Structure 1
C-alpha cells in the first residue's frame, strides 16, 4: 500500500497536525452519539413524529456514507488541508442551523435537511484528516499515530452520551452548538499545520458519485419508510429494489473506469472481502445501538436524558476494555480470531439484553450490554486495521474510503430497517394493550398516533373511555410495550453480530504484511509492551471514571 506522502515534517509539526485532526474529526464522532440522547426531547419539543426523529439521525449517516468516497477523491485532487478546512466550515455551519431549527410544520424537514448537510461536511473532512495524519508521520511511527488518533476519537464517541445528557437538560439545541467552538479551535490549529502531501492530477468520477448517492439514498429511504408505506407497498419495494439495482450498476461501471471512485479490484483479496463483510454486519448493530439504548432508557425505564447518557456508558465499558484485547490478539494471531470471538460474544450480549429487556430493570440488562459492547470492541479495530493492511497497490485514503463507506452505509441501513421494525412493533403492542382495556380500533389507533408523536389530538378523549380504575394500569403497560418492541430489534442486532462472525470465518487467517513499514529506530518511541500497558491503564481509568460518575448520578 502506498501512502502518498512526499516528505515527513519535523516532530513539532507532526504533533500539531495530529492534534488539529483530532479536534476536526472529534466533533463528527461526538455527533454520532450525542444526538441519540436528545432525540426524545427533540421529538417532544418540536412535536414531530417518530419517523422524523429517526430520519434526523439517519440523514446524517446517509449524507456521510453516500459522499465519503467522493470527498476522499476530491481531497486527493484538490488538497487535503483545503478539504479539512471546507469540511469543518460546512459541518460547523450546518450544526449552527440545526440548533436554529424553527418551531412549526417545517421543523422536521429543516432538521433532517441540515443533518444531511452535516453528514456531507463530515465526509469532506474525515478522509482528508486521515490522509494528513498518514503524511505527517514516517512509516515506523504511523501505526502508533493512527492508534492514538482512533483511541482519542473513539473516546470522544463515548463522551457524547454523557455530554448530551447534560446539555439536553439545559437546551437540546446546545447539542448542535457545542460543535462550533470545537470547529473554531480545529480551524486555528489546522491553519498552523504545514503538511506536504501529493495532489493527484486525475479526473474525478462524477458518474460513480451519482450512482452511489442514488443507490444508497433510495435503498435507505425504502427501508426507513417501510413501516409507514407498508413493507410490500410498490413505493417501498421500488425504492429498495431500485437502490440495489443502481448499486449493482455502479459496481460494473467502476470496473470499466480508468480512474474509478472506488477500486473494486481491491475486493479480489479474500481477506479484504471478509474484513469488509465483518464491518458491514457489525456496523448494522454498532451505530444504531446508541439510538435504541436511548429509547429504551427514556421510554421503557423512564430515565431523564442525563440518566440515559450514563446508561449508554455500560456499552462503552465493555467496548473500551475489549478493544485493547482485540488489538493484542491482532498483533499476536491476526484479525480472524478476535473477529470470530467478537461476533459470538456480541451476539450473546445482544441476545441476553433482548431476553431481559422487559424486566425494566437496569441491573438485569446492564451486564448483557457490557458483553455486547465487548463483542464490538473485539472486532472493530482488527477488522479495520487488517482491511487497510491487506489492500495492495492502493493508498490509505482509498482503502479508508471503502471501509468507511461500507461502515456508514451499513449503519444507515441498520437504523432504517431496525427503526421500521421498532415503529411497527410499538404500534402493534400499544394497539393490543388498548384493545385489551376495552378501547375500539379507532380509539386504539388514536392512542398509537399520540404515543408515536404523529398527533396529540384525541388522545385524551380515547383515554376517557378507559374506566378510571384501569387508566393507571393501562399507562403502566406502555413502558413494557416499548421494551417488548425493542427486544425484537435487539434480537435482530444479535443476528447481525452472528452474521459478522460467519463473515469472519471466510478470512484466510494469518497476519498481513505491511510492505512500506521500516524497522523502528532505537528510541523512536515506546515499545509494544509499553504501549499495551498504557492502553490497559487508559481502559482502567475510563472504567473508573464511568463508575464514579454512575455512583454520583
Structure 2
C-alpha cells in the first residue's frame, strides 16, 4: 500500500508562511482602518464640536481639511521613509503618531485656543496616516508572493474601503455619548494593530540611499498648496485670486519638484517608473476613478439627508448599498488580476461604474432610497472591480522593488484626485442648487434678495461649512426646507444629478485609459539593483 508522498519543501515553506501572512494582513487592516474611518467620522460630529467649542464655520472646515491636506502632502515622504528605514518600523511609527494625535484631539480644551489645538493635531493625524498607509501596503505586498498578491490586496482594499462607510455610522453613535469619543475610539484599534504586527514577525528590509529632504519639502508644499486651492474653491469662489494663487502656485512648485528630482542623485520619487506604459495607465485609471470614489461618500450622504429627509445614521445605511457592490466585486477583481492580469478587471470596473453612476443619477429624482439600491450597488461594484487590480499592478511594476516609494506615488495620485473631485463637484452642486432653489422660492412669492439669500444658505450647508444649523436641524436651512416642502428637495436632487453624471463621465474616461493598458502581467518580483 502506497502512502501519500511527503510534501515538497516549497509546500512546507508556504504552509509555515501562511499564518504569518494572515497575521500581517490583519495587523495592516487594523492600522489603516483608522485612517479610512477618520476621513468621514468627523463630518458627522462637526455640529456638536462647533457648538461646544464655539468654533467658527470656517474654523471647523479647517479642522476637517487639515487632516486631508496633511495626508496628501506627506504620502510620498511616507513611502520613501518606509523604503529607507523598513516598512514595519515606519508603519508602527505612523500608528503611534496617529493614535497620540487622536487622543490629543479628543482632549482639546475649551476656550480661544481650541480651534488652533484641533487644527494642529488633526494635521499631525494626517502625518501619521501618511507614514502608516504606504508602509502598511508595502508590508502586505512584501509578505505575499505575486501569485497570491491580487486576492490579498483585494481583501485589503475591499475591507479598508468599506470601513469608510463605517465612519458616519460610528460617528453618529459615539456622538450621542460625546463627540470626543470619535477620536478616542482609535486607541483600542491601534493597540490591536501593534500587537498583531509584533506577533506576525514581519521581516524588515531596507534600501540603501539617502532621504531627499529638499524634494520632501517641495512635494509637500506643492501638494498642500494646490489641494488647499481646490478644497477652498467652494468657499473662496473660482473667480477668487486666492483660489488660483494656491492652485497655480502649487502646480508651479510641483513642476519645480519634478525638475529637481530628475537632477538629484537620490530622488524622493523615481519618475522613471512612468516609462512603464502599464504603470502610467494604472495611475490614470486610479486618478479618474478617485474623482468619483471618495466624493460619492459626501454627496450621497448629503443628498440622503436633504432630498430624502434621512438622519445621519440612515444616510450612512444608504451608502451601504454602494459598499455591498464594492465589497463583492473587489474579491472578483483580485481573482481576475491573479489569473488574467489587471486590464480585464479595469475594463469591467470602469464600464460597470460608468453605467452604474449614470443610472443612479437618473433615479435620484425619484426621492426613494430603496429604489436606488441596484444602481448604487452597480456603481460600487465598478469601483470594486478596478481599485485593487489597478493599485496592485502599479506597485508590482515598481522599480527595484521599491514598494514603499511607488505606493506613495499611487496614494498621492488618489488623494489628489479625490480633492479635485470634491472641489469641482462641490462647485457644480453649489451653483446648480442656488439657481434652482432661487427660482423655486421666487415662484412662491419670495422677493429676489430673500430667495437668493436662502438658496445660498442651503448651498453653504451642503458644501461643507457646518454651523450647527444644517438640513436636519432648526436653523434657516431646515426652516426653508420645511417651508418649501418637496420643491426644494427636488431641486437639490436635480442638482445632484449633475454631480453623479460627472462621476459617470470620470469612469468613462478611466475606461478609455484602461484600453491603452498593454495587458502584460507581472509574474515575478522586479529585479533588485543594490
TM-score normalised to structure 2 length: 0.84
Tell me whether 1:303 sits opposite 2:279 in the alignment: no
Cα distance change of structure 1 residues 20 and 331 upon mapping to structure 2, 3 Å threshold = closer
2:133 counterpart residue number = 126
Q: CA deviation at 1:420?
A: 3.0
Tell me whether 1:513 sits opposite 2:523 in the alignment: yes
Q: CA deviation at 1:287?
A: 1.2
CA distance in structure 2 between the partners assigned to 1:105 and 1:347 by the alignment = 47
2:260 counterpart residue number = 253
Q: CA deviation at 1:164?
A: 3.6
**Which whole-Å deviations, capped at 9, do the CAs of 1:347-370 have from their partners, x for residues lacking one?**
121122222212211133222111
1:437 counterpart residue number = 444
1:92 counterpart residue number = 99
Cα distance change of structure 1 residues 270 and 44 upon mapping to structure 2, 3 Å threshold = farther
CA distance in structure 1 between the partners assigned to 2:375 and 2:481 by the alignment = 33
Classify the secondary structure of the residue corresponding to 1:506.
Answer: coil
Greater alpha carbon shift after TM alignment, 106-115 vs 242-251: 106-115
CA distance in structure 1 between the partners assigned to 2:162 and 2:481 by the alignment = 45
Cα distance change of structure 1 residues 163 and 346 upon mapping to structure 2, 3 Å threshold = same
Of 481, 492, 498, the match for 2:508: 498
Tell whether the 8 Å contact from 1:278 to 1:504 is kept in structure 2 after alignment: yes
Classify the secondary structure of the residue corresponding to 1:167.
Answer: helix
2:298 counterpart residue number = 291
Unaligned runs of 5+ in 2: 1-14
Tell whether the 8 Å contact from 2:306 to 2:489 is kept in structure 1 after alignment: yes
Tell whether the 8 Å contact from 1:37 to 1:291 is kept in structure 2 after alignment: no
2:415 counterpart residue number = 408
Equivalent residue runs for 1:374-413 within 5 Å: 374-413=381-420
Tell me whether 1:323 sits opposite 2:348 in the alignment: no
The CA RMSD over aligned residues, in Å, is: 3.4
Of 449, 454, 471, the match for 1:447: 454
2:498 counterpart residue number = 488
1:198 counterpart residue number = 205
Greater alpha carbon shift after TM alignment, 272-281 vs 506-515: 506-515
CA distance in structure 1 between the partners assigned to 2:273 and 2:355 by the alignment = 33
2:7 counterpart residue number = none
Cα distance change of structure 1 residues 434 and 20 upon mapping to structure 2, 3 Å threshold = same
Cα distance change of structure 1 residues 98 and 496 upon mapping to structure 2, 3 Å threshold = farther
Q: CA deviation at 1:81?
A: 3.4
CA distance in structure 2 between the partners assigned to 1:136 and 1:330 by the alignment = 18
Tell whether the 8 Å contact from 2:158 to 2:331 is kept in structure 1 after alignment: no
CA distance in structure 1 between the partners assigned to 2:367 and 2:143 by the alignment = 50
Q: CA deviation at 1:376?
A: 0.5
Tell whether the 8 Å contact from 1:99 to 1:177 is kept in structure 2 after alignment: yes
Greater alpha carbon shift after TM alignment, 401-410 vs 32-41: 32-41
Q: How many residues align?
A: 503
Cα distance change of structure 1 residues 101 and 487 upon mapping to structure 2, 3 Å threshold = farther
CA distance in structure 2 between the partners assigned to 1:47 and 1:394 by the alignment = 50
Greater alpha carbon shift after TM alignment, 89-98 vs 9-18: 9-18
Unaligned runs of 5+ in 1: 1-7, 518-553
TM-score normalised to structure 1 length: 0.80
Cα distance change of structure 1 residues 283 and 40 upon mapping to structure 2, 3 Å threshold = farther
1:216 counterpart residue number = 223
**Which whole-Å deviations, capped at 9, do the CAs of 1:455-506 have from their partners, x for residues lacking one?**
799x9xx98xxxx9x9955244332233233222222111111111111122
Equivalent residue runs for 1:99-114 within 5 Å: 99-100=106-107, 111-114=118-121
